[in-house]
Structure 1
Amino acid sequence: MAHVTAALRHRQDAAFSELGLTPAVARALHELDPDRPLPARDLAERLGCDRSNVTALVDKLEQAGLVERRTDPVDRRQKTLVVTGKGRGVRHRVTDVMSDSRLLAGLTDRELGTLRDLVWKVSDDGCPEPCEPG
């Protein structure tokens, strides 16, 4: 499982690099909803990191033209993060990268089912055998 995880991470990191993003910056962009501005403190909570780290991530997103800091119309003391038009396109590509399943493309349906069942079996979710999709 560690090998599969490392292979997935390597592919994602390479794809993020092609987009000009680090994995951390890509994940931050992915966590932002293009239709709902978000305070930086909420992004820090979603990412499970310190607000000072989010400031550096947002600086990079802003420098790339993917995010803008704007004053919250409800609470003018607070800044919100707004995904730009360019950011929407890049975010869509980041989402594609994060959901890319080409690593599993060589498996048959039966093999995918077996893999799914085995992953459920070793996870804490306790999916009954055989695991039902969905």
Structure 2
Amino acid sequence: MAHLTASLRHRQGTAFAELGLTPATARALHELDPDRPLPARDLADRLGCDRSNVTALVDRLEQAGLVERRTDPADRRQKTLVVTGDGRGVRDRVTEVMSDSRLLAGLSDTELSTLRDLVWKVSDGGCPEPCDPA
């Protein structure tokens, strides 16, 4: 499991670096909905981190031209995060990288089902249908 996770992180990290992002900035961009501005405090909640960390992430995204801070029209004291046009394209690519399953491409459908069932079994003691709990 650790080897699989490390391999996946390495592949994602390499792809994110090609986009000029770190894994943390990629995840932050991924969490932003291009059609709904979001306050930075809400992004911090989604990422499960301190607001000061989000400030640094947003600074990097803003410097790259992927995100803008804008005044919230409903509450002018608050800034919201808006994904730019360039940010939308990069975010789409980040989403592709995060869902890339090439690491598992060599497995048959039966092997994939077995892997899924085993991961479910060790992760929470249960498994989805048609998992055989025995």
Give 1:130 shift: 3.4
Q: Which residue of structure 2 aligns with residue 20 of structure 1?
A: 20
Alpha-carbon distance in structure 1 between the residues aligned to 2:112 and 2:102: 12
Alpha-carbon distance in structure 1 between the residues aligned to 2:91 and 2:128: 35
**Secondary structure of residue in 2 paired with 1:81:** strand
Percent of aligned positions with the same letter in both sequences? 87
Matches within 5 A, 1:119-130: 119-124=119-124, 126-128=126-128, 130=130
Give the TM-score normalised by structure 2.
0.95
**Secondary structure of residue in 1 paired with 2:75:** coil
Change over 3 Å in CA distance of 1:102–1:128 after alignment to 2: closer
In the alignment of these two chains, the number of paired residues is 132
Give the TM-score normalised by structure 1.
0.95
Alpha-carbon distance in structure 2 between the residues aligned to 1:112 and 1:33: 31
5+ residue gaps, structure 2: none
Alpha-carbon distance in structure 2 between the residues aligned to 1:130 and 1:118: 12
After the TM superposition, which parts of structure 1 deviate over 2 Å for at least 4 consecutive aligned residues? 128-132
Change over 3 Å in CA distance of 1:83–1:117 after alignment to 2: same
Task: Select between 87-96 and 109-118 the one with higher mean Cα deviation.
Answer: 109-118
Give 1:131 shift: 2.7
Root-mean-square deviation (Å):
1.3
Q: Which residue of structure 1 aligns with residue 5 of structure 2?
A: 5
> Which string of whole-angstrom CA distances, capped at 9 and with x for unpartnered residues, describes residues 64-103 of structure 1?
0000000000000000000000000000000000000000
Matches within 5 A, 1:98-113: 98-113=98-113
